[in-house]
Amino acid sequence: MSAGRSAMRMGPAELVQAAAMARRFYLEGKSKIQIAEEFGVSRFKVARVLETALERDLVRIEIRVPAELDAERSDALRARYGLRHAVVVESPADADDSPDPENLGEVAADLLGELVTEGDVLGLAWGRSTIHTATALHTLPPCTVVQLTGVYDAGTAERGSVEAVRRAAQVSGGEAHPIYAPMLLPDPATAAALRGQTGIARAFDYFDKVTVAAVSIGSWEPGISTVHDMLSDKEREHYASLGVAAEMSAHLFDAQGRRVGRDLGERCITVEADRLRRIPEVVAIAGGQRKAAAIDAVLRSGLVTSLVTDTAAADHLLTAEPLPLPALDRADPDGS
């Protein structure tokens, strides 16, 4: 607290009393009723004194968050999309146009530490950002951790989502349920056979119990979408012709958030869109200007409740067309 020039226009008795009341309220955490009883005045008088103290610069309030967080953009983004949580991280000064800076994973790890409670089931989908998040985890309440998708390449599972699930379970002290299978299979029959295998079926049984999920988002271009990179040129052209603008957990979306190319899901080892929509808290972790339009599309789908992104993506999202429904209304992306 500091006394500015405007505050000196108050009389000395008023100034001393206002300073004392402000100290009780702002520093000692006393209620207005407690302060009123102490000074022998009404609580309405206390409220007026505190208001005057602010107006006349007797009290200055600073709101500080860590330098890497942009509180103003975060709140604006949360309100614009009707999200439960939106956390915007400053894009690194030396960042190029690559998506998903690693610092997103660090902030997302802290957010999961806030959201996950003891006894929850945490779901992790494949993605670079979710792998960065799991690597950055330092603390989690005791919880079960389940993998929500197969991996991009089963041969790299030890360095990918399987290891991310193990890492999260190790931090929490809970059970791990990884999926040792590729995300995309050659045909629906092979995918169905794998889903019936004991270990994979056990993980799928947990999908309806997931309370918090972390997912990645990809835009429909090479190197930015796992699914795009796994398909043949002919398949990419086919799905592009359907208007795909984004993918998340092997589900494809057009620019308005409607799911397209649903036949692809029959070949994939992944959590179904309807199950994903029923998870109480789904945190998407994605950033970079190149992913901005894809993030917008997925936020419109009704499958995501919270977002961790960066300023490069947020600036685009804050100028996007208004949403027809808030994200928390959990619209059905398969509906009309």
Contacts of 82 (CB under 8 A, 6+ apart): 323, 325, 326, 327, 328, 329
Same domain, 21 and 114: no
Same domain, 248 and 277: yes
Asked if pLDDT for residue 3 goes beyond 60, the answer is: no
- Reading the block at residue 288, the tokens are 């970079």
Residue 6: predicted pLDDT: 43
Number of structural domains the chain divides into: 2
Please, which pLDDT band fits residue 64 given cuts at 50, 70 and 90? low
Same domain, 311 and 260: yes
List the domain range (segments joined by +) for residue 20: 12-56
Q: What's the mean pLDDT in 148-169?
A: 75
336 in any annotated domain = no
pTM for the predicted model, two decimal places: 0.78
Same domain, 19 and 129: no
Please, which pLDDT band fits residue 248 given cuts at 50, 70 and 90? very high
61 in any annotated domain = no
- Reading the block at residue 254, the tokens are 């057009």
Asked if pLDDT for residue 40 goes beyond 50, the answer is: yes
175 in any annotated domain = yes
Q: What's the mean pLDDT in 282-289?
A: 93
Residue 160: predicted pLDDT: 73
Residue 158: predicted pLDDT: 43
Question: Considering only CA atoms, which of 83, 102, 82, 84 is closest in space to residue 92?
Answer: 102
210 in any annotated domain = yes
Same domain, 39 and 96: no
Contact assessment for residue 132 and residue 105, using Cβ atoms and an 8 Å cutoff: yes
Residue 70: predicted pLDDT: 87
Supply the CATH number for residue 76's domain: 3.40.50.1360
Task: For 188-234, write each residue's pLDDT tens digit.
Answer: 999 999 999 998 999 999 999 999 999 999 988 877 777 888 888 89
Query: Mean pLDDT, the chain, as a whole number?
Result: 86
6 in any annotated domain = no
Same domain, 104 and 205: yes
Q: Which ranges in 176-232 belong to alpha helices (H)?
A: 188-195, 198-205, 226-230
Same domain, 125 and 167: yes
Asked if pLDDT for residue 4 goes beyond 50, the answer is: no
Same domain, 42 and 123: no
Q: What's the mean pLDDT in 301-323?
A: 91
Q: What's the mean pLDDT in 144-169?
A: 78
Same domain, 288 and 166: yes
Q: Following CA atoms 179, 181, 182, 183 in sequence, which dihedral angle do they give, to the nearest 10 degrees?
A: -40
Asked if pLDDT for residue 11 goes beyond 70, the answer is: no
Residue with the bigger pLDDT between 61 and 264: it is 264
Residue 330: predicted pLDDT: 79
Supply the CATH number for residue 50's domain: 1.10.10
Residue with the bigger pLDDT between 68 and 311: it is 311
Residue 192: predicted pLDDT: 93
- Among positive and negative, which fits the CA dihedral 159, 187, 297, 179? negative
Same domain, 52 and 80: no
Same domain, 47 and 77: no
- Reading the block at residue 332, the tokens are 């059905």
Please, which pLDDT band fits residue 151 given cuts at 50, 70 and 90? confident
User: Which of 63-72, 98-107, 125-134 shows the highest mean pLDDT?
Assistant: 125-134
Asked if pLDDT for residue 159 goes beyond 90, the answer is: no
335 in any annotated domain = no
- Reading the block at residue 294, the tokens are 């894809």
Residue 63: predicted pLDDT: 60
62 in any annotated domain = no
User: In percent, how much of the chain has pLDDT > 70?
Assistant: 89
5 in any annotated domain = no
Asked if pLDDT for residue 157 goes beyond 50, the answer is: no
Same domain, 165 and 50: no
Asked if pLDDT for residue 95 goes beyond 60, the answer is: no
